Amino acid sequence: MEIRERHRQLSIVFHPDKQRDDESRASATKFFYEIQRAYEGEFYYSFGSVVSKWTSY
C-alpha cells in the first residue's frame, strides 16, 4: 500500500501538466515517466531508489 501511495504523490508532483515553464516541464516529464516505469514493474526493483531519489525535492 505504501508504494501505491508514494506513486500517486510523486505522480501528482512531477506531472508535466502541473509545471509552468518549459524547463521544469522537461525535467518533470523525465522524472514522471521514470516513476511510471518503476511503478508498472518494468523497473520495479528500482522503485525504492526512484522514490528516495526524488522525495528530497
Q: How confident is the model at residue 38 (pLDDT cuts 50, 70, 90)?
A: confident
Which whole number is the average pLDDT over 28-46?
A: 79
Q: Which residues have a Cβ under 8 Å from the Cβ of 43 and sit 6 or more positions away?
A: 34, 37, 50
Q: How confident is the model at residue 5 (pLDDT cuts 50, 70, 90)?
A: confident
Helix (H) or strand (E) holding 14: helix 2-14
What distance in Å separates the CA atoms of residue 20 and residue 3, rounded to the nearest whole number?
Answer: 27
Over 70: is that where the pLDDT of 53 sits? no
Mean pLDDT, the chain, integer = 80
18 secondary structure, DSSP code: G
Over 70: is that where the pLDDT of 45 sits? no
Three-class SS of residue 46?
Answer: helix
